Protein backbone atom coordinates (compact mmCIF):
# COMPACT_ATOMS: atom_id res chain seq x y z
CA UNK A 1 0.00 0.00 0.00
CA UNK A 2 1.12 3.57 -0.64
CA UNK A 3 2.61 5.88 1.99
CA UNK A 4 2.74 9.65 1.82
CA UNK A 5 4.97 10.95 -0.95
CA UNK A 6 5.19 7.63 -2.81
CA UNK A 7 4.36 7.36 -6.49
CA UNK A 8 2.00 4.67 -7.64
CA UNK A 9 3.46 1.62 -9.35
CA UNK A 10 1.60 -1.01 -11.30
CA UNK A 11 2.51 -4.64 -11.96
CA UNK A 12 1.83 -5.68 -15.57
CA UNK A 13 1.24 -9.41 -16.07
CA UNK A 14 1.10 -11.30 -19.36
CA UNK A 15 -0.96 -14.40 -19.97
CA UNK A 16 2.27 -16.42 -19.81
CA UNK A 17 3.14 -14.89 -16.42
CA UNK A 18 -0.26 -15.88 -15.06
CA UNK A 19 -0.16 -19.38 -16.53
CA UNK A 20 3.23 -20.01 -14.92
CA UNK A 21 2.07 -19.36 -11.35
CA UNK A 22 -1.69 -19.94 -11.18
CA UNK A 23 -3.55 -23.26 -10.93
CA UNK A 24 -7.27 -24.09 -11.00
CA UNK A 25 -7.20 -24.95 -7.29
CA UNK A 26 -5.96 -21.47 -6.35
CA UNK A 27 -8.71 -19.87 -8.42
CA UNK A 28 -11.40 -22.18 -7.02
CA UNK A 29 -10.47 -21.07 -3.50
CA UNK A 30 -10.60 -17.36 -4.32
CA UNK A 31 -13.79 -17.49 -6.42
CA UNK A 32 -15.53 -19.52 -3.74
CA UNK A 33 -14.52 -16.88 -1.19
CA UNK A 34 -15.95 -14.14 -3.44
CA UNK A 35 -19.26 -16.00 -3.78
CA UNK A 36 -19.50 -16.25 0.01
CA UNK A 37 -18.74 -12.54 0.45
CA UNK A 38 -21.40 -11.74 -2.14
CA UNK A 39 -23.98 -13.78 -0.22
CA UNK A 40 -23.00 -11.89 2.93
CA UNK A 41 -23.55 -8.54 1.21
CA UNK A 42 -19.88 -7.57 1.42
CA UNK A 43 -19.28 -6.99 -2.30
CA UNK A 44 -20.66 -4.79 -5.05
CA UNK A 45 -21.06 -5.18 -8.79
CA UNK A 46 -21.52 -2.12 -10.96
CA UNK A 47 -23.65 -1.67 -14.10
CA UNK A 48 -22.35 -3.34 -17.24
CA UNK A 49 -20.99 -1.03 -19.93
CA UNK A 50 -21.54 -2.28 -23.48
CA UNK A 51 -20.95 -0.58 -26.80
CA UNK A 52 -21.10 -1.81 -30.41
CA UNK A 53 -18.72 -0.03 -32.76
CA UNK A 54 -20.20 -2.03 -35.65
CA UNK A 55 -23.20 -4.23 -34.73
CA UNK A 56 -22.28 -7.90 -34.80
CA UNK A 57 -18.74 -7.10 -35.94
CA UNK A 58 -16.95 -5.04 -33.29
CA UNK A 59 -17.92 -4.32 -29.70
CA UNK A 60 -16.64 -3.92 -26.16
CA UNK A 61 -17.94 -4.45 -22.64
CA UNK A 62 -16.75 -3.58 -19.15
CA UNK A 63 -17.63 -5.55 -16.02
CA UNK A 64 -16.56 -4.03 -12.72
CA UNK A 65 -16.98 -4.51 -9.00
CA UNK A 66 -15.66 -4.24 -5.45
CA UNK A 67 -14.31 -7.01 -3.21
CA UNK A 68 -14.40 -5.10 0.07
CA UNK A 69 -12.97 -7.86 2.32
CA UNK A 70 -9.95 -8.13 0.02
CA UNK A 71 -9.50 -4.34 -0.19
CA UNK A 72 -9.76 -4.37 -3.97
CA UNK A 73 -11.90 -3.01 -6.75
CA UNK A 74 -11.43 -3.23 -10.49
CA UNK A 75 -12.74 -4.02 -13.92
CA UNK A 76 -12.42 -6.31 -16.91
CA UNK A 77 -12.52 -4.86 -20.41
CA UNK A 78 -13.32 -7.31 -23.22
CA UNK A 79 -13.27 -6.34 -26.88
CA UNK A 80 -14.51 -8.34 -29.87
CA UNK A 81 -13.33 -7.41 -33.35
CA UNK A 82 -14.30 -10.08 -35.88
CA UNK A 83 -12.16 -8.66 -38.76
CA UNK A 84 -9.02 -9.40 -36.72
CA UNK A 85 -9.20 -13.03 -37.81
CA UNK A 86 -8.33 -12.11 -41.39
CA UNK A 87 -5.19 -10.35 -40.14
CA UNK A 88 -4.07 -13.16 -37.86
CA UNK A 89 -4.91 -11.18 -34.73
CA UNK A 90 -7.01 -12.44 -31.81
CA UNK A 91 -10.70 -11.76 -32.23
CA UNK A 92 -11.08 -11.31 -28.46
CA UNK A 93 -8.93 -9.30 -26.08
CA UNK A 94 -9.43 -9.25 -22.32
CA UNK A 95 -7.70 -6.91 -19.86
CA UNK A 96 -8.15 -6.72 -16.08
CA UNK A 97 -7.27 -3.75 -13.86
CA UNK A 98 -7.01 -4.12 -10.06
CA UNK A 99 -6.91 -1.18 -7.64
CA UNK A 100 -6.53 -0.62 -3.91
CA UNK A 101 -9.83 0.46 -2.31
CA UNK A 102 -8.07 2.37 0.48
CA UNK A 103 -6.20 4.77 -1.82
CA UNK A 104 -7.63 4.22 -5.32
CA UNK A 105 -4.10 3.41 -6.54
CA UNK A 106 -3.89 0.93 -9.44
CA UNK A 107 -2.10 -2.27 -8.43
CA UNK A 108 -2.04 -4.52 -11.49
CA UNK A 109 -2.89 -4.65 -15.17
CA UNK A 110 -3.11 -8.14 -16.58
CA UNK A 111 -4.12 -10.18 -19.59
CA UNK A 112 -7.66 -11.39 -18.95
CA UNK A 113 -8.37 -14.16 -21.45
CA UNK A 114 -6.46 -16.85 -19.56
CA UNK A 115 -7.93 -15.69 -16.25
CA UNK A 116 -11.43 -15.84 -17.75
CA UNK A 117 -10.85 -19.47 -18.66
CA UNK A 118 -9.62 -20.25 -15.16
CA UNK A 119 -12.44 -18.45 -13.34
CA UNK A 120 -15.11 -20.02 -15.58
CA UNK A 121 -13.74 -23.48 -14.89
CA UNK A 122 -13.61 -22.64 -11.19
CA UNK A 123 -17.24 -21.46 -11.19
CA UNK A 124 -18.51 -24.70 -12.74
CA UNK A 125 -16.44 -26.78 -10.32
CA UNK A 126 -17.70 -24.79 -7.32
CA UNK A 127 -21.27 -25.37 -8.43
CA UNK A 128 -20.60 -29.11 -8.61
CA UNK A 129 -18.65 -29.13 -5.34
CA UNK A 130 -21.68 -27.81 -3.46
CA UNK A 131 -24.49 -29.43 -5.44
CA UNK A 132 -23.30 -32.70 -7.02
CA UNK A 133 -23.23 -36.01 -5.17
CA UNK A 134 -19.88 -36.16 -3.31
CA UNK A 135 -19.11 -39.61 -4.71
CA UNK A 136 -19.48 -38.50 -8.35
CA UNK A 137 -17.03 -40.26 -10.70
CA UNK A 138 -18.18 -39.55 -14.28
CA UNK A 139 -17.94 -36.06 -15.76
CA UNK A 140 -19.30 -34.93 -19.13
CA UNK A 141 -18.19 -31.68 -20.73
CA UNK A 142 -20.44 -30.59 -23.59
CA UNK A 143 -18.28 -28.34 -25.73
CA UNK A 144 -14.77 -29.08 -27.00
CA UNK A 145 -13.50 -25.53 -27.40
CA UNK A 146 -11.14 -23.25 -25.49
CA UNK A 147 -12.99 -23.81 -22.19
CA UNK A 148 -12.52 -27.58 -22.20
CA UNK A 149 -9.12 -27.82 -20.52
CA UNK A 150 -10.10 -25.28 -17.84
CA UNK A 151 -13.31 -27.15 -17.08
CA UNK A 152 -11.65 -30.55 -16.84
CA UNK A 153 -8.77 -29.25 -14.72
CA UNK A 154 -11.03 -27.48 -12.24
CA UNK A 155 -13.41 -30.43 -11.94
CA UNK A 156 -10.48 -32.79 -11.35
CA UNK A 157 -9.38 -30.53 -8.47
CA UNK A 158 -12.86 -30.46 -6.95
CA UNK A 159 -13.42 -34.23 -7.38
CA UNK A 160 -10.08 -36.07 -7.09
CA UNK A 161 -11.91 -39.38 -7.32
CA UNK A 162 -13.17 -38.72 -10.86
CA UNK A 163 -12.58 -41.78 -13.00
CA UNK A 164 -13.84 -40.69 -16.39
CA UNK A 165 -14.13 -37.50 -18.44
CA UNK A 166 -16.33 -37.58 -21.53
CA UNK A 167 -16.00 -34.81 -24.12
CA UNK A 168 -18.82 -34.13 -26.57
CA UNK A 169 -18.92 -31.61 -29.39
CA UNK A 170 -22.54 -31.65 -30.60
CA UNK A 171 -21.56 -30.18 -33.99
CA UNK A 172 -18.27 -31.91 -34.80
CA UNK A 173 -17.26 -35.24 -33.29
CA UNK A 174 -13.77 -34.76 -34.74
CA UNK A 175 -13.19 -31.80 -32.46
CA UNK A 176 -14.00 -33.94 -29.43
CA UNK A 177 -11.64 -36.67 -30.65
CA UNK A 178 -8.77 -34.19 -31.06
CA UNK A 179 -9.41 -32.61 -27.68
CA UNK A 180 -9.60 -35.96 -25.87
CA UNK A 181 -6.32 -37.08 -27.46
CA UNK A 182 -4.36 -33.98 -26.47
CA UNK A 183 -5.95 -32.77 -23.22
CA UNK A 184 -3.57 -34.52 -20.80
CA UNK A 185 -0.53 -33.20 -22.69
CA UNK A 186 -2.04 -29.72 -22.93
CA UNK A 187 -2.94 -29.33 -19.25
CA UNK A 188 0.47 -28.65 -17.62
CA UNK A 189 1.24 -25.72 -19.93
CA UNK A 190 -2.32 -24.42 -20.13
CA UNK A 191 -3.46 -24.65 -16.50
CA UNK A 192 -0.32 -25.38 -14.50
CA UNK A 193 -1.28 -28.90 -13.41
CA UNK A 194 -1.10 -32.47 -14.57
CA UNK A 195 -4.37 -34.33 -14.86
CA UNK A 196 -4.59 -37.43 -12.64
CA UNK A 197 -3.02 -40.45 -14.28
CA UNK A 198 -6.03 -42.64 -13.49
CA UNK A 199 -8.42 -40.30 -15.31
CA UNK A 200 -9.87 -41.81 -18.49
CA UNK A 201 -10.53 -39.13 -21.12
CA UNK A 202 -12.62 -40.06 -24.13
CA UNK A 203 -14.62 -38.46 -26.90
CA UNK A 204 -18.29 -39.40 -27.11
CA UNK A 205 -20.53 -39.18 -30.15
CA UNK A 206 -23.83 -40.19 -28.52
CA UNK A 207 -24.81 -37.28 -26.30
CA UNK A 208 -27.94 -39.00 -25.01
CA UNK A 209 -26.01 -42.03 -23.76
CA UNK A 210 -23.34 -39.81 -22.22
CA UNK A 211 -25.96 -37.75 -20.35
CA UNK A 212 -27.65 -40.90 -19.08
CA UNK A 213 -24.42 -42.21 -17.56
CA UNK A 214 -22.94 -38.97 -16.16
CA UNK A 215 -22.86 -37.76 -12.56
CA UNK A 216 -21.78 -34.20 -13.38
CA UNK A 217 -22.37 -32.33 -16.65
CA UNK A 218 -20.94 -28.96 -17.63
CA UNK A 219 -22.36 -27.25 -20.71
CA UNK A 220 -20.03 -24.76 -22.39
CA UNK A 221 -21.39 -24.07 -25.86
CA UNK A 222 -22.94 -21.09 -27.71
CA UNK A 223 -26.16 -23.05 -28.34
CA UNK A 224 -29.45 -21.23 -28.86
CA UNK A 225 -31.59 -24.35 -28.77
CA UNK A 226 -31.59 -27.08 -26.11
CA UNK A 227 -28.91 -29.72 -26.55
CA UNK A 228 -29.95 -31.98 -23.67
CA UNK A 229 -33.44 -33.49 -23.52
CA UNK A 230 -35.28 -33.85 -20.24
CA UNK A 231 -35.94 -37.54 -20.91
CA UNK A 232 -32.21 -38.31 -20.88
CA UNK A 233 -31.51 -36.96 -17.39
CA UNK A 234 -31.23 -39.44 -14.54
CA UNK A 235 -31.98 -38.72 -10.88
CA UNK A 236 -28.96 -37.37 -9.03
CA UNK A 237 -27.41 -35.57 -12.00
CA UNK A 238 -25.79 -32.17 -11.52
CA UNK A 239 -25.46 -29.52 -14.26
CA UNK A 240 -23.12 -26.54 -14.26
CA UNK A 241 -24.20 -24.33 -17.17
CA UNK A 242 -21.62 -21.76 -18.27
CA UNK A 243 -22.41 -21.33 -21.98
CA UNK A 244 -25.47 -19.09 -21.70
CA UNK A 245 -24.18 -15.56 -21.16
CA UNK A 246 -26.31 -13.41 -23.44
CA UNK A 247 -30.00 -13.20 -24.36
CA UNK A 248 -31.38 -16.11 -26.34
CA UNK A 249 -28.75 -18.71 -25.46
CA UNK A 250 -30.01 -22.06 -24.17
CA UNK A 251 -28.39 -25.46 -23.59
CA UNK A 252 -30.92 -27.40 -21.46
CA UNK A 253 -34.47 -28.50 -22.14
CA UNK A 254 -36.43 -26.13 -19.84
CA UNK A 255 -38.32 -29.12 -18.45
CA UNK A 256 -35.04 -30.12 -16.75
CA UNK A 257 -35.04 -26.82 -14.88
CA UNK A 258 -38.68 -27.31 -13.90
CA UNK A 259 -37.81 -30.46 -11.91
CA UNK A 260 -34.43 -29.35 -10.56
CA UNK A 261 -33.07 -27.43 -7.61
CA UNK A 262 -31.71 -24.38 -9.43
CA UNK A 263 -28.99 -22.04 -8.18
CA UNK A 264 -27.35 -19.05 -9.88
CA UNK A 265 -24.29 -16.83 -9.55
CA UNK A 266 -26.31 -13.59 -9.78
CA UNK A 267 -30.10 -13.77 -10.01
CA UNK A 268 -30.87 -10.51 -11.87
CA UNK A 269 -28.16 -11.20 -14.47
CA UNK A 270 -29.20 -14.83 -14.94
CA UNK A 271 -32.80 -13.78 -15.50
CA UNK A 272 -31.58 -11.51 -18.30
CA UNK A 273 -28.92 -13.62 -20.01
CA UNK A 274 -28.51 -16.99 -18.27
CA UNK A 275 -29.71 -20.55 -18.78
CA UNK A 276 -32.86 -19.74 -16.79
CA UNK A 277 -33.80 -16.75 -19.02
CA UNK A 278 -35.89 -18.55 -21.64
CA UNK A 279 -37.33 -21.08 -19.18
CA UNK A 280 -38.71 -18.21 -17.10
CA UNK A 281 -40.03 -16.35 -20.14
CA UNK A 282 -41.78 -19.51 -21.38
CA UNK A 283 -43.35 -20.14 -17.98
CA UNK A 284 -41.59 -23.41 -17.14
CA UNK A 285 -40.22 -21.82 -13.96
CA UNK A 286 -40.44 -18.45 -12.23
CA UNK A 287 -37.87 -16.31 -10.49
CA UNK A 288 -39.36 -17.50 -7.19
CA UNK A 289 -38.45 -21.10 -8.08
CA UNK A 290 -34.72 -20.29 -7.95
CA UNK A 291 -33.47 -21.59 -4.60
CA UNK A 292 -30.73 -19.00 -4.25
CA UNK A 293 -27.28 -17.83 -5.27
CA UNK A 294 -24.42 -20.29 -4.92
CA UNK A 295 -22.72 -18.41 -2.07
CA UNK A 296 -25.83 -18.82 0.05
CA UNK A 297 -25.15 -22.57 0.32
CA UNK A 298 -21.69 -22.04 1.79
CA UNK A 299 -22.65 -20.91 5.34
CA UNK A 300 -24.83 -24.00 5.61
CA UNK A 301 -21.96 -26.23 4.45
CA UNK A 302 -19.75 -24.73 7.16
CA UNK A 303 -22.47 -25.34 9.76
CA UNK A 304 -22.90 -28.95 8.68
CA UNK A 305 -19.13 -29.57 8.75
CA UNK A 306 -18.96 -28.24 12.30
CA UNK A 307 -22.01 -30.29 13.26
CA UNK A 308 -20.42 -33.48 11.92
CA UNK A 309 -17.19 -32.76 13.79
CA UNK A 310 -19.08 -32.15 17.03
CA UNK A 311 -21.39 -35.12 16.64
CA UNK A 312 -24.53 -33.01 16.14
CA UNK A 313 -24.98 -33.56 12.42
CA UNK A 314 -28.35 -32.31 11.26
CA UNK A 315 -28.49 -29.31 13.55
CA UNK A 316 -28.58 -26.98 10.54
CA UNK A 317 -32.01 -28.20 9.46
CA UNK A 318 -34.59 -25.50 9.07
CA UNK A 319 -32.37 -23.02 7.25
CA UNK A 320 -34.32 -20.69 5.03
CA UNK A 321 -35.25 -21.56 1.46
CA UNK A 322 -35.59 -18.64 -0.91
CA UNK A 323 -33.45 -16.34 1.22
CA UNK A 324 -31.99 -13.27 -0.42
CA UNK A 325 -28.27 -12.46 -0.82
CA UNK A 326 -26.91 -10.41 2.05
CA UNK A 327 -29.48 -11.47 4.66
CA UNK A 328 -27.07 -13.99 6.18
CA UNK A 329 -29.55 -16.88 5.91
CA UNK A 330 -27.99 -20.04 4.44
CA UNK A 331 -29.99 -22.23 2.08
CA UNK A 332 -29.84 -25.95 1.46
CA UNK A 333 -28.26 -27.26 -1.74
CA UNK A 334 -28.82 -30.92 -2.49
CA UNK A 335 -31.49 -32.47 -0.25
CA UNK A 336 -31.19 -36.10 -1.39
CA UNK A 337 -29.15 -38.35 -3.72
CA UNK A 338 -32.08 -38.27 -6.15
CA UNK A 339 -32.15 -34.48 -6.62
CA UNK A 340 -31.31 -33.03 -10.02
CA UNK A 341 -29.35 -29.83 -9.44
CA UNK A 342 -28.44 -26.95 -11.74
CA UNK A 343 -25.95 -24.11 -11.31
CA UNK A 344 -26.47 -21.31 -13.83
CA UNK A 345 -23.26 -19.25 -14.06
CA UNK A 346 -23.31 -16.27 -16.39
CA UNK A 347 -19.98 -14.86 -15.23
CA UNK A 348 -19.75 -11.82 -12.97
CA UNK A 349 -17.07 -9.25 -12.24
CA UNK A 350 -16.45 -10.68 -8.79
CA UNK A 351 -15.16 -13.91 -10.35
CA UNK A 352 -12.70 -11.93 -12.47
CA UNK A 353 -11.52 -9.84 -9.54
CA UNK A 354 -11.10 -12.92 -7.34
CA UNK A 355 -9.05 -14.69 -10.02
CA UNK A 356 -7.01 -11.54 -10.68
CA UNK A 357 -6.30 -11.22 -6.97
CA UNK A 358 -4.95 -14.79 -6.93
CA UNK A 359 -2.78 -14.04 -9.97
CA UNK A 360 -1.47 -10.78 -8.49
CA UNK A 361 -0.53 -12.38 -5.16
CA UNK A 362 1.21 -15.33 -6.84
CA UNK A 363 3.07 -13.13 -9.34
CA UNK A 364 4.16 -10.68 -6.64
CA UNK A 365 5.52 -13.54 -4.52
CA UNK A 366 7.41 -14.91 -7.52
CA UNK A 367 8.60 -11.51 -8.71
CA UNK A 368 6.95 -11.94 -12.10
CA UNK A 369 5.76 -9.26 -14.49
CA UNK A 370 6.93 -5.75 -15.19
CA UNK A 371 6.58 -3.15 -12.44
CA UNK A 372 6.16 0.33 -13.88
CA UNK A 373 5.90 3.68 -12.14
CA UNK A 374 2.86 5.77 -12.97
Q: What is the pLDDT of residue 321?
A: 53
Both 275 and 367 in one domain: the answer is: no
Residue 192 scores a pLDDT above 50: yes
Residue 76 scores a pLDDT above 80: yes
Q: Distance (Å, rounded) from C-alpha 120 to C-alpha 54?
A: 27
Q: What is the pLDDT of residue 314?
A: 32
Residue 93: inside a domain = yes
Q: In the beta sheet, which residues pair with residue 200?
A: 164
Q: Are 354 and 151 within 8 A, CB to CB? A: no
Q: What is the pLDDT of residue 127?
A: 97
Both 328 and 356 in one domain: the answer is: no
Both 235 and 251 in one domain: the answer is: yes
> 56 in helix, strand or coil?
coil
Residue 126: inside a domain = no
User: Model confidence over 56-72: pLDDT tens digits?
Assistant: 899 999 999 999 999 99
Residue 104: inside a domain = yes
User: Model confidence over 253-291: pLDDT tens digits?
Assistant: 999 999 999 999 999 999 988 899 999 999 999 999 999
Percent share of the chain, pLDDT over 70: 90
Residue 3: inside a domain = no
269: domain CATH number is 3.40.50.720
348 burial (CB, 10 Å; 0-12 / 13-18 / 19+) is buried
Indicate the number of domains in the chain: 2
Query: Per-residue confidence at 301, pLDDT binned at 50, 70, 90?
Result: low
Both 328 and 185 in one domain: the answer is: yes
Mean pLDDT of 14-19: 93
Q: What is the pLDDT of residue 42?
A: 95
Residue 221: inside a domain = yes
Both 60 and 79 in one domain: the answer is: yes
109: domain CATH number is 3.30.1780.10
Both 147 and 291 in one domain: the answer is: yes
Residue 123: inside a domain = no
Residue 206 C-alpha from the chain's centroid: 26
User: Model confidence over 223-255: pLDDT tens digits?
Assistant: 999 999 999 999 999 999 999 887 888 999 999
Both 180 and 268 in one domain: the answer is: yes
Residue 207: inside a domain = yes
Q: What is the pLDDT of residue 245?
A: 80
Q: What is the pLDDT of residue 318?
A: 37
User: Model confidence over 330-343: pLDDT tens digits?
Assistant: 789 999 999 999 99
Residue 93, domain extent:
9-115+352-373
Q: CB under 8 Å to 26, separation ≥6 — which residues? A: 358, 362
Q: Distance (Å, rounded) from C-alpha 121 to C-alpha 135?
A: 20
Both 18 and 35 in one domain: the answer is: yes
Residue 325 scores a pLDDT above 60: no
- The pTM is what? 0.88
Residue 190 scores a pLDDT above 50: yes
Both 139 and 288 in one domain: the answer is: yes
Residue 90: inside a domain = yes
- DSSP letter string over 84-137? GGGGT--SEEEEEEEEETTT--EEEEEE-HHHHHHHHHHHHHHHHHHHS-TT--
pLDDT, the chain, mean: 89
Both 173 and 140 in one domain: the answer is: yes
Both 28 and 156 in one domain: the answer is: no
User: Model confidence over 156-186: pLDDT tens digits?
Assistant: 999 999 999 999 999 999 999 999 999 999 9
Both 223 and 182 in one domain: the answer is: yes
Amino acid sequence: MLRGGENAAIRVLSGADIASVLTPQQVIERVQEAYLWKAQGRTATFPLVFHEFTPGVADMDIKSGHLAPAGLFGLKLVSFFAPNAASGLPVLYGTILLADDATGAPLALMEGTHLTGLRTGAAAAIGALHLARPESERFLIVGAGHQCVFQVGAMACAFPQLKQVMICDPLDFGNAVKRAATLAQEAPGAIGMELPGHLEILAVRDLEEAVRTSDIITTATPAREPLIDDGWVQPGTHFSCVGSDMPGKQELDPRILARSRVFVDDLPQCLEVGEIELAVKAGFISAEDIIGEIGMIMPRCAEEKLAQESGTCGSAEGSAEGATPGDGAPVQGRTSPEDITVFDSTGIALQDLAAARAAFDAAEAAGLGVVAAL
